[in-house]
Structure 1
Amino acid sequence: MNGSRDTGMNVLVVGGSGYLGAGITQACLRAGARVRVVSRRGTAAAGEGVRGDVRRPRLGLPADVLARVRAETTHAVLCFGPVSWATGPGEALETHDAGMRTVLAFLRELPALEQAVHVSSLLALGRAKGRVTNRELYTGQRFRNWYEYGKYRAERLVRDAMSAGAPPIGVVRFGPVLGPDPRGGRPDTEHGLPAAFPHLLAGYPVHLGRRGDFPCWVTDVHSAAEVVVTALRAPIGRRTWTWFDPALPTLREVFIEVCRPWGTVPKIVDAGPLGRLTRLLGERVGTVPELVDYAEPWFDLDPAVLREIPEPWPTPEPDYLGATGRALLAPPTVERG
């Protein structure tokens, strides 16, 4: 950010106790906003934490909190839902589909709401066909897992709300978001791309098409959070933005840089000639299940989508990939709130 203060924003962050949600909360606070974080535990690494649940009408907020939220909220960020690529259909659809319907209905009850932003994922594109931009969502694609389909359903509902004209909500898409955990402590390696890190650091091989020399659309949590704040302040309106590290590190480069602080060179095996045997071989030699589905190039995304974000763009933290690896050297943390 440029360091200016904007005390006019009162931001409701739904799902703000998680990794990216915590980064967004901190970025909003740096921008001078007042921030209220809704989570099932009612805790927040920063800002005011309140207990709520997207599966319940009006987020299940207590009457006194509900009255304040209705009266004070001028901006909202939606970043809730399971982050595991291996999540099942029940959890994925309960939060990303049913939960999004509940949240959108709730946003319509906020009379002072100026702008809302839904934090989506590029993986909502699944196995998209052809070159995709910010315009496309459904391209006739198939989905690798329920996480992808859940994120697709959530963005589909938001886009339908855009067309209906209310509430004023836009979409910001990210690929995998990396970097040290804004909440402190050791990064979570149970879900998504980071699930492969312990496997690689232990010296086990992974089988990747082209040895991983293809974009994986990563960025760091700091610049991702700043883009969300830009979307609130610009504002984004009812558009869709996509953000990733403009340097476009490949999947191979990501793995190499994360392993570097450990003095480890990741064992990456070219799976290209194996074709349909890639999945079977990867599972038999121990490649983590969440990575097997992403052993080949993910989709053809037009890098020019970045130009739709107003400049100046945030600068990804220097060496955020190496910093991710260094953070993994810390001892495991206790359960987070």
Structure 2
Amino acid sequence: MGVRTILFTGFPGFIGARLIPLLLDADPDANVVALVEPRMVEKARQVAGELGLQERLTIQPGDITAPRLGLDEATSRRLADETVAVHHLAAIYDLAVPLAIAERVNVEGTQNIIDFCRACTRLERHNYVSTAYVAGQRRGTVLEADLAAGQAFKNHYESTKFAAEVLVRASMDEVPTTIYRPGIVVGDSRTGVTQKFDGPYYLLRTIQAAVRRHTPIVQPGAMSAPFNVVPVDFVIDAIVTGAGDPDFAGETLHLVDPDPISASDLYARLCAAYAGKPPALRLPWGLVDQSLRLAPVRHLLGGTPRESLIYLNHQVRYDTARATELLGRHGVRCPPASEYVGPMVAFFREHEDDPAFAPLH
């Protein structure tokens, strides 16, 4: 049968560090080669050691933005002969990322991964992690089969992930592929464990700031849009399940809550869990949006960047028909927010002053 290698990008990221052990459990004959940019190799080896996977997890220095993934010809050829699955998670997720960097990592990097997939002689699946936000500024219901609809985008993260998915879609006739589109990922639904307090955690920062100042909790806008948040354990379970089932090949799956609560409902639940009271004051979104350049307003909202706030008032719903059907066959479901707000807040409370959890921006 020969060596069974899973090529993995995105390690030692939060999802990658949790996903790799489960992939190895699901395929006892496989090993993982994690392609890691040189500056992260030491950290990756440390995390691999903590996972106890040294014998089955190899850290391979490389660069998805370079031809042949930054590998010498012999290594590239050997990996192409041994690789049976590719998991491509590496991307720039920063909502304020400059265009040139986003294009190089998200678009050119994905094209280089596709080129590697085409060179693989035994490839069973390319598992590509996209995002629900390739839909950009579309409103209403977005289907899993949808991609290009003339939409504009809120930032370069969205536009370059869209461009990358266009490339992946174009390769699917020759490369067996599953595309996963998560929403906004938060911590584990049971333990609350996460890696950074960004995204929805800025809402907790807003609540925290008000509690510490002994001032009313402010709500930024109506926040009436569905909030497409999803716990990391569901995303991981979905990818492990999809990678092991041939029926998932050729599918694009929205990994979001099929029945999302509104952003205001989530905010009220976070307020209740953290502060024991609801928000006392709603600021009109137009006023918030125009005032975010002012330091006092940013301080009032716990340092929340505009790039994150605009998602709270964007009216879009992501259909999950195929994900619900295929994952349901395996008993995998997205837990409702009511099940994990408690653990999410408890973990935040435990680590809210730990600089290790501070967002990059």
TM-score range, shorter chain: 0.7 to 0.9
Partner of 1:172: 180
* Partners of 1:124 and 1:151 within 8 A in 2: yes
Aligned mate of 1:159, from 156, 160, 169 = 169
| 2:321 is the alignment partner of 1:314 | no
1:233-248 to 2 correspondence within 5 Å?
233-235=244-246, 236-248=248-260
Can you list the C-alpha shifts for 1:284-320, whole angstroms capped at 9, x where unaligned? 4224222232231342333534334242342457843
Partner of 2:310: 293
* Partners of 1:178 and 1:321 within 8 A in 2: no
1:15–1:303 CA distance, 2 compared to 1 (3 A): closer
Can you list the C-alpha shifts for 1:18-65, whole angstroms capped at 9, x where unaligned? 122223223313323532222212316343322221111121135665
1:12-91 to 2 correspondence within 5 Å?
12-32=7-27, 33-40=30-37, 41-42=40-41, 43=44, 45-46=47-48, 47-61=57-71, 65-91=75-101
* Partners of 1:260 and 1:322 within 8 A in 2: no
Alpha-carbon distance in structure 2 between the residues aligned to 1:95 and 1:227: 24
Alpha-carbon distance in structure 2 between the residues aligned to 1:221 and 1:166: 30
Aligned mate of 2:263, from 236, 251, 258 = 251
* Partners of 1:77 and 1:116 within 8 A in 2: yes
Q: Secondary structure at the match of 1:309?
A: helix
1:38–1:135 CA distance, 2 compared to 1 (3 A): same
Aligned-CA RMSD value: 3.1
Larger Rg computed on CA atoms: 2
Give the C-alpha shift of residue 77 in structure 1: 1.0
Aligned mate of 2:155, from 138, 142, 145 = 145
Give the C-alpha shift of residue 113 in structure 1: 0.8
Alpha-carbon distance in structure 2 between the residues aligned to 1:60 and 1:181: 37
1:300–1:220 CA distance, 2 compared to 1 (3 A): closer
Unaligned 5+ segments in structure 1 are 1-7
| 2:237 is the alignment partner of 1:226 | yes
Residue identity matched to 2:221: L
Aligned mate of 2:355, from 329, 332, 335 = 332
Residue identity matched to 2:220: H
Give the C-alpha shift of residue 282 in structure 1: 5.0
Can you list the C-alpha shifts for 1:193-221, whole angstroms capped at 9, x where unaligned? 33443233222634133xx3432221111
Q: TM-score, normalised by structure 2?
A: 0.77
Between Structure 1 and Structure 2, how many residues are aligned? 321
* Partners of 1:241 and 1:309 within 8 A in 2: no
Q: Secondary structure at the match of 1:167?
A: coil
Partner of 1:136: 146
Unaligned 5+ segments in structure 2 are 49-56, 211-216
Can you list the C-alpha shifts for 1:260-289, whole angstroms capped at 9, x where unaligned? 554465647545xx4754521455422422
Give the C-alpha shift of residue 252 in structure 1: 3.0
Alpha-carbon distance in structure 1 between the residues aligned to 2:193 and 2:320: 33
* Partners of 1:195 and 1:290 within 8 A in 2: no
Give the C-alpha shift of residue 67 in structure 1: 4.8
Alpha-carbon distance in structure 1 between the residues aligned to 2:314 and 2:221: 9
Q: Secondary structure at the match of 2:119?
A: coil
Q: TM-score, normalised by structure 1?
A: 0.82
Q: Secondary structure at the match of 2:249?
A: coil
Higher helix share: 2
Percent identity at matched positions? 23
Give the C-alpha shift of residue 115 in structure 1: 0.5
1:100–1:250 CA distance, 2 compared to 1 (3 A): same
